[in-house]
Amino acid sequence: MELNKARKAKSPAIRALFVIFGIVSFGLGVLGIFLPLLPTTPFMLLSAFLFIRSSGRLYRWLINHRLFGKYIHDYIERRSIPRRVKWYTLGLLWASILTSVATLDVGNVIRLILLLIAVGVTAHVVKLRNS
């Protein structure tokens, strides 16, 4: 999304909250690199969403970030991710979900919900174009 077309929050208090939540989201995304059950991409996209509505400087920093910028830009502008990232994501997703379903002491309803979420995320990721 282009920065000049984004609708910024009018209230300074809301913009400040967006910046704070954007920074927290970015931090969770970075943690997601190392923790398989914590997703990186959704948190980075949330950070971009929050920053574009609160701080042009932080949005430009995120989009131009040497590690995350290209992925975020490609996803937002072209709805695409690299094939390698797509298969890595799906592998981690299913490994995490199946491990959770097999080892957590939760009811069958929760197991079914986890599997349905995994199917939904898989369908979304597979539909994305390869960059």
Q: What average pLDDT values come out for the chain (131 residues) when binned by 10 residues?
A: 67 94 94 78 89 93 90 83 84 88 90 92 89 77
**125 in Cβ contact with 87 (< 8 Å):** no
pLDDT of residue 81: 83
The label of the residue with tokens 């991409």 reads 41
How many angstroms separate the CA atoms of 59 and 29, rounded? Answer: 15
Q: How confident is the model at residue 5, as a pLDDT?
A: 64
Rounded CA gap, 75 and 58, in Å? Answer: 18
Name residue, tokens 């939904």: 120
Q: What is the pLDDT of residues 67-105, one digit of tens each?
A: 888 888 888 888 888 888 888 888 888 988 899 899 988
